[in-house]
Amino acid sequence: MITSAELRASFLDYFAQRQHERVVSSPLVPANDPTLLFTNAGMVQFKELFLGRERRDYSRAVSSQRCVRAGGKHNDLENVGYTARHHTFFEMLGNFSFGDYFKREAIQFAWEYLTQVLSLPPERLWITVYEDDDEAADIWLKEIGVDAARFSRCGAKDNFWSMGDTGPCGPCSEIFFDHGPEIPGGPPGSPDEDGDRYVEIWNLVFMQFDRDAEGKLTPLPRPSVDTGMGLERLAAVMQGVHSNYDIDLFRHLIDAAAEVTGCADRADKSLRVIADHIRSTVFLIIDGVMPSNEGRGYVLRRIMRRAIRHGYRLGCSEIFFHRLVAPLVAEMGEAYPELVSSQSNVERVVKLEEERFAETLEHGMGILDEAISALSGDRIPGETVFKLYDTYGFPVDLTADIARERGLSLDMDGFEQAMAQQKERARAASQFGAAQTREIQVQGETDFCGYERLQEEATVVALYRE
Ligand code: ATP
Ligand code: MG
Ligand code: MG
Ligand code: MG
């Protein structure tokens, strides 16, 4: 069986042998890019090259990029625990051309790598292209000889890729793997494509435009290529398992999570959430993010608290999350030596956050349970959601996660009203100066940080509603 580490090496070697420069992963916090929360794709560190604003002495590159998708345009937080294929943290394998090769070679490389190097059977691979991309369609159907029965054209939602609201973008072509008829889900482009039977493994983006804040597309100086393939998804295919959470790398993490939480059912979704979230937590911390009440730090806090709450769901009465740092380092320290050197520091940060949240978690859960048993409909009142958020440090998405488990929803209008009132109080208080502000802060909120965090949560709420 090929391991995840061997797959990573195989991909990098294949493209290095084809004149691609090996470039190391950049950090999760993008350098000088306020438009982006976290590095969410391999192309992020090459953005300026695509735009023609930077030159390097190579025009082809290959990388294995660590990515986080837990906020912003690409947000998979809500998918973790529910699909077999999504993580908040994952590694993206990618090859890039900066005005060098374009569609033909990108498609040829991908097909050769999958069917010749990895020997995947062509009849299990499905292809999509952007609806009006005849050029890519011809290459797949006429040159590569893909069966038209496993080929489709899709709209912009899936086949026009962009990093964020602005920046480089273009039509793309995607490769899916059919995990077999036992698994529910229809082929790409069909109405039930959201199942997990046909899993998207590789996206080939034909970078052609720069989108500005008004949405206007300007052609890039030179057409380029950006591809991305999830290492964990490829490992699942190559290791003959359906779920990413059953690959070598995750098996060990799930074992460790089962041990520290005392949960015997290795298929329990909470173990998957915890195993996923320890990766994003640790990698965000080593890349300089600290749990806090604003910006990136708040996203990290949301991830951590969500994982901690899943431990609580499994019956953990002691703090446990920091105990998963060591197993993660054992698993990934070889590929990322910085994990080893920061281990004790990271453990300290995680433990501190656990201790903070432990003080309010149990009490907050009690309040939520009470509110739920008093419900007449199936919506948790906005007042309750706000109180949990404001007084007990429950990020809204955490409460939403609990609601979803129990088949309930949240009254977001009510939440926003409560938040608007709080904002008004905070604004009024700040006009009165420090004394009153302090008074309001002391008045009850263990975790009240005023105006900025409310702003932040408003952004999160907007994301959550999308
Ligand atoms: P999906 O439709 O399955 O959510 P995507 O279209 O959002 O995937 P892309 O933005 O095209 O994904 O990213 C390129 C590749 O990165 C995907 O083909 C997949 O292999 C991998 N990938 C994307 N999101 C995740 C994730 N949350 N966890 C693991 N791998 C991912
Ligand atoms: Mg996605
Ligand atoms: Mg997709
Ligand atoms: Mg895609």
- Most informative mutation of 85, 169, 197 for ligand 1 (most atoms within 8 A of CB): 85
Q: What is the pTM of this model?
A: 0.91
The pair phi, psi for residue 9, each rounded to 5°, is: -65, -40
Judge whether 392 and 363 are in contact, CB under 8 Å: yes
d(CA 318, CA 273): 18
What atom in ligand 1 is closest to the CA of residue 92?
16
Residue nearest to atom 30 of ligand 1 (CA): 230
Please report the pLDDT score of residue 43 as a whole number.
94
- The residue ranges of DSSP E strands in 155-248, in sequence order, are 160-162, 167-178, 198-211, 217-230
And the tokens for 251? 């098996």
The pair phi, psi for residue 225, each rounded to 5°, is: -130, 140
Q: pLDDT tens digits for 86-120?
A: 999 999 999 999 999 999 999 999 999 999 999 99
Q: How many residues does the chain have?
A: 466
- Name 97's Cβ contacts closer than 8 Å, sequence gap at least 6: 59, 60, 105, 106, 224, 225
Ligand having the closest approach to the CA of 80:
1
- Which of the four pLDDT bands, split at 50, 70 and 90, describes residue 410? very high
The mean pLDDT value of the chain amounts to 91
Residue nearest to atom 26 of ligand 1 (CA): 86
Judge whether 101 and 60 are in contact, CB under 8 Å: yes
- Least reliable range by pLDDT among 116-130, 316-330, 367-381, 450-464: 450-464
Please report the pLDDT score of residue 441 as a whole number.
38
- Most informative mutation of 68, 89, 90 for ligand 1 (most atoms within 8 A of CB): 90
Judge whether 68 and 80 are in contact, CB under 8 Å: no
Q: How many Cβ atoms sit within 10 Å of the Cβ of residue 260?
A: 19
- Centroid of ligand 2 to alpha carbon of 200 (angstroms): 9
Judge whether 272 and 306 are in contact, CB under 8 Å: no
- Which of the four pLDDT bands, split at 50, 70 and 90, describes residue 444? very low
Judge whether 197 and 180 are in contact, CB under 8 Å: yes
Mean local confidence (pLDDT), 209-229 = 93
Q: Is 233 in the pocket of ligand 1 (CB under 6 A)?
A: yes
And the tokens for 358? 């432990």
- Give bridge partners of residue 322 from the DSSP assignment: none
Alpha-helical regions (H) of 95-149: 103-112, 134-138
- Most informative mutation of 203, 205, 225, 277 for ligand 1 (most atoms within 8 A of CB): 203
pLDDT at 130 over 60: yes
Nearest partner of 8 among 118, 66, 93, judged by Cα: 93
Residue 151 burial by Cβ neighbours in a 10 Å radius (0-12, 13-18, 19+): middle
Please report the pLDDT score of residue 459 as a whole number.
53
And the tokens for 402? 């609990």
Q: Is 323 in the pocket of ligand 1 (CB under 6 A)?
A: no
Q: Is 69 in the pocket of ligand 1 (CB under 6 A)?
A: yes
